[in-house]
Amino acid sequence: MIAVHVRVSGRVQGVFYRAFTKDLAKELGVKGWVRNIPGGGVEAVLEGERQKVGELLRHMKSGPAGSMVLGMEFSELECKNYEDFTIEY
């Protein structure tokens, strides 16, 4: 089990990027959260099996239709055992 903090830059607000991430996370069994950040980016904490988190990161790099991911930064965190995946506001 791993946990990763991710910051995504590009056109990722106003294009359903958070909902896209939440739906995929739930499908893959990844827990954590996603939210918009000032300046137009998105950040998320992803927690789950290494393979599933990696798969979600690959999808996040592509993003939903209408998005344009220009960069992703991530770092490993200590697991907190989230119970679900949520959109934070």
Element containing residue 76 per DSSP (H, E):
strand 68-77
pLDDT tens, position by position, 2-23: 999 999 999 999 999 999 999 9
CATH classification at residue 52:
3.30.70.100
Q: Which residue among 7, 35, 36, 58 is the active-site one? A: 36
In a domain, 8, yes or no: no
Q: Is the overall model pTM greater than 0.85, yes or no?
A: yes
Q: How far are the Cα atoms of 24, 33, 46, 68 from residue 84, in angstroms, in the given order?
A: 12, 8, 10, 27
Domain count, the chain: 1
In a domain, 7, yes or no: no
In a domain, 1, yes or no: no
In a domain, 60, yes or no: yes
In a domain, 43, yes or no: yes
In a domain, 3, yes or no: no
Residue 18 bears catalytic tag: yes
pLDDT tens, position by position, 19-53: 999 999 999 999 999 999 999 999 999 999 999 99
Note down the domain range covering 73.
13-87
Residue 81 bears catalytic tag: no
